[in-house]
Chain A
Amino acid sequence: MGAGEEFEPRIVAFLCNWCTYTGADLAGVSRLQYPPNVRPIRVMCSGSVDPMYILKALLDGADGVLVGGCHPGDCHYVNGNYKARRRLGVLGAILDEFGIDSRRVWFRFISASEGALFAQTVRDMTAALKAMGPNPARALWLA
């Protein structure tokens, strides 16, 4: 990031195959505009996202991590999204305790038909991360 250049946050997004990934796809085919700061990774279920992968992204310098899953009751695997919510609750508590702001990690329920919500979520998250500034772990080679 050179002088005068605006900080562009990098967001790693773990998107559930059945809902949010398809929602992101819909945003694309609907030609909705949203910031290109997000790097999507398709996963089978938000419940399959081990906190380790989110930590890896954050420690390697991602400015934010978005986890997208189905709405309650819609999980293809019955309750993976509820379990993800608990795991992410624990992750957030630990991140805050050890000096990474848990507001860098977003968990959102976005269905396959909510392309507009996906686009808006990325807009909101990009703006929030711009306001927060770069992830302090970005330059931390000890991590």
Chain B
Amino acid sequence: MKDLLIASGQDGREKALSRFLAKLLDVGAVDALVVPVEAAPGVITHVLAKDPRLVEEAARPLAPVMPSSAATLVSEVVRKRPSGRVAALLRPCEARALVELVKLKQAAPENVVAIGMDCAGTYDPVAYRQAAGNVDGLEFREACRVCQNPAPLEDGLPGITLGLIGLDDSEGIVMSVHERLDPAVAAVMEELGLASGEGAGRKRREAVQALVQERQEACDAFLKGARRGAATAEGPDPAAPGVSGVPGVPGIGAFARELAACTGCHNCRVACPVCYCRECVFDTDTFEHETGQFLRWAGRKGALKMPSETMLYHLTRMNHMSLSCVGCGQCEQACPAHLPIFRLFAMASRRTQELFGYVPGRSLDDELPFTTFREQELEPR
């Protein structure tokens, strides 16, 4: 992959990138583009753009917020085999989620051009909006602070990679075209006449390496403290569940207390880019019960938490989706009760992904662990 340079103009590299993206539409390299725009100061949303002028004027490709995962949006557009070529600007977590959605048969990858970009982190969209886009004093979201993938992975969906990390605004953006990209699109890229970005490319790779190292340490520390976070959750333990039987793990009661403020809105499920069922079991009549059933449950333990099935919902979602969890933190960002859902999912997904050595979003060639098996593995045999 050759490094090319999208040089910053006088108005900075974000504008230069917008012009580059507009150009892709203009010359017909792609038919449409999923890209963030700024609707009002600090208010970011995505659009599916057709008009290059609109992209040049309103696009905010580097806006440091992720109002929703673009993977979900792209999947909505290309769930059926698309008739046109759709490009999408994707942060690394969005690109990985899209790979998972392709494997889950929720997106047809044939005509998608993935424009993967470096992402050092994003801010909470509400805080960003309230600050009218002024990020002074804001902190990256927790999911971003411990994210070990600030740069796009090489074997994801074919497209191009935009390198930003380690380069300042005047140094521009390093662009490289994937070898597996449709030659017709790649040829158009060649014709854009971009200069070589070899020096900037080297500088960026070194910076990415250093950031990844830093993030790995941050993530290790975060996961080490994750269980402690649960253990020290405040409040009396009404059921005194005692120890879990597993060394170092607080009992299930500690997690129940952490999640007790859950209102059951299921926003985490809606925001999750990989939670894909068209109808979730928790929305079905499986969970519509007779009055007597509720009273029996309440009678058995003395009381039934309402809304009910809080733990069952979160633990079930972990069972169904943690293998594909890309750690984007959209679940927590969407939670009106500000519950630590990202942390709990990170704890689960680390364990479950370890079990099969599965790295979600790494490659379309890695099989989803639940769709396959080995003769000799796990217990019993």
Contact = CB atoms under 8 A, between A and B. Distances in A.
Contact of B311 (A72, A89, A108, A143): A143
A94 B352 contact: yes
A82 B371 CA distance: 10
A94 B255 contact: no
B119 interface: no
Contact of B318 (A86, A94, A142): A94
Interface stretch (A1-9, A23-31, A95-103): A95-103
Given A56-B312, A86-B373, A139 B301 contact: yes
Contacts of B369: 86, 90
B209 interface: no
Nearest to B255: A98
Contacts of B380: 85, 107-109
B241 A136 contact: yes
A139 to B, nearest CB: 4
Nearest to A99: B244
A91 interface: yes
B315 A93 contact: no
Interface centre among A86, A89, A96, A132 (most CB of B within 10 A): A86
B351 A96 contact: yes
A107 B239 contact: no
Contacts of A142: 238-239, 253, 256-257, 260, 305, 310-311
Interface string B35-56: 0000000000000000000000
A39 interface: no
A142 B254 CA distance: 10
B312 A89 contact: no
B323 interface: yes
Contacts of B246: 96, 99, 101
Interface centre among A85, A101, A141, A142 (most CB of B within 10 A): A142
Interface string B283-322: 0000000000000010011111100001110011011101
B351 A94 contact: yes
B244 A59 contact: no
Contact of B348 (A97, A107, A132): A97
Chain B interface secondary structure, helix, strand, loop or mixed?
Answer: helix
B244 A86 contact: no
B201 interface: no
A88 B356 CA distance: 13
Given A136-B251, A142-B305, A83 B351 contact: no
A55 B256 CA distance: 14
B218 interface: no
B301 A59 contact: no
B106 to A, nearest CB: 20
Contacts of A88: 378
A56 B311 CA distance: 9
A59 B297 CA distance: 11
Contacts of A52: 281, 312, 316, 319
A136 B251 CA distance: 8
A141 B298 CA distance: 8
Interface string B85-113: 00000000000000000000000000000
B355 interface: yes
B375 interface: yes
Contact of B252 (A60, A82, A100): A100
A137 interface: yes
A61 interface: yes
B239 A55 contact: no
A36 interface: no
A79 interface: yes
Contacts of B245: 101, 103, 132
Nearest to A139: B239
B303 A141 contact: yes
B315 A55 contact: yes
A85 B379 CA distance: 7
B316 A55 contact: yes
B352 A90 contact: yes
29 contacts: A50-B281, A51-B320, A55-B319, A59-B311, A59-B315, A60-B300, A79-B373, A83-B373, A86-B369, A86-B377, A87-B370, A90-B319, A90-B352, A90-B355, A90-B369, A93-B348, A94-B319, A98-B255, A98-B315, A99-B241, A99-B253, A99-B255, A137-B241, A137-B252, A138-B301, A140-B301, A141-B239, A141-B305, A143-B310
Given A83-B373, A97-B249, A143-B305, 13 more contacts: A51-B316, A59-B312, A90-B355, A94-B351, A98-B348, A100-B244, A101-B245, A109-B380, A139-B301, A141-B239, A141-B302, A142-B238, A143-B310
Interface of B: 238-246, 249-257, 260, 281, 297, 300-305, 310-312, 315-316, 318-320, 322-323, 344, 347-348, 351-352, 354-356, 369-370, 373, 375, 377-381
